[in-house]
Chain A
Amino acid sequence: ETGVTQSPTHLIKTRGQQVTLRCSSQSGHNTVSWYQQALGQGPQFIFQYYREEENGRGNFPPRFSGLQFPNYSSELNVNALELDDSALYLCASSLSFRRKQFFGPGTRLTVL
């Protein structure tokens, strides 16, 4: 059984650019959640997708958006990057929105 995978592993962008991060959920999982983890902090919930629909959102501005595809993989898009967007972005998948979340290795985003 394949676990949660994320790409790319590392990414460097400049302020004002746009970025797309990708997540492949574990086989059979229909729910994907995204978290932002700043250095030295705990992960913060960005949003969750359940069967291709957004199913809850944390305290993040609209320039953070997402998609979930029919195969339940997901994308996180961030527009107009700011320096404070530098963080580890974690994706987690689960069998449903109510089940245990399995995390991927994360994408380390650096905004210069």
Chain B
Amino acid sequence: AQKVTQAQTEISVVEKEDVTLDCVYETRDTTYYLFWYKQPPSGELVFLIRRNSFDEQNEISGRYSWNFQKSTSSFNFTITASQVVDSAVYFCALRPVTLTQGGSEKLVFGKGTKLTVNP
């Protein structure tokens, strides 16, 4: 079974602070993808980043960066120099990779972390 845990329920920061969102996952699959999605008050899930299980190289994309550590099953997400527009609920998600057409590749989500960036 797969499980994603986001221990931080809510985080509040002041604009321009850096903030890291934690994510720990459980899976028996050897091949999988990890995602971060943003959900603003409008409700639509916005894709942010994706990482596959074979690639532990950490990268920076603009103000976003992530730290994938397979040894600890963690996939943390950092926003640098936060802005008020970053206020949203952030979800970490796991998706197994199936080798057969019959298997659906469902996303397994954590419960989300609500980030509030104050001016």
Cβ-neighbour of B111 out of A35, A40, A92, A101 (below 8 A): A40
Q: Taking the complex as formed, is A81 at the interface, i.e. its CB lies under 8 A from any CB of chain B?
A: no
B58 CB → nearest A CB, Å: 20
A42 with B43: CB separation less than 8 A: no
Set of chain B residues within 8 Å of A90, measured between Cβ atoms: 43, 45
Given that A33-B104, A42-B109, A56-B104 are contacting pairs, would A98 and B42 also be in contact in the complex, using a CB cutoff of 8 Å?
no
Measured as residues with beta carbon below 8 angstroms from the partner, the interface class of chain A is 20 to 34
A11 to chain B, nearest CB (A): 14
Instruction: Tell whether B13 is near chain A: CB-to-CB under 8 Å.
Output: no
A101 near B107 with CB under 8 A, answer: yes
Q: Are B47 and A102 in contact (CB under 8 A)?
A: yes
Contact A45 B111 (CB under 8 A): no
Q: What distance in Å separates the Cβ of A1 from its nearest Cβ neighbour in chain B? A: 15
Contact string against A for B residues 104-119, beta-carbon threshold 8 Å, 1 for contact and 0 otherwise: 1111111110000000
CB-defined contacts of B104 to chain A, threshold 8 Å: 33, 47-48, 50, 55-57, 97
CB < 8 Å: which of A45, A100, A104 contacts B106?
Answer: A45
Q: List 12 A-B contacts (CB under 8 A).
A: A33-B107, A40-B112, A41-B112, A42-B91, A42-B111, A44-B109, A55-B104, A56-B105, A97-B101, A103-B47, A106-B44, A108-B43
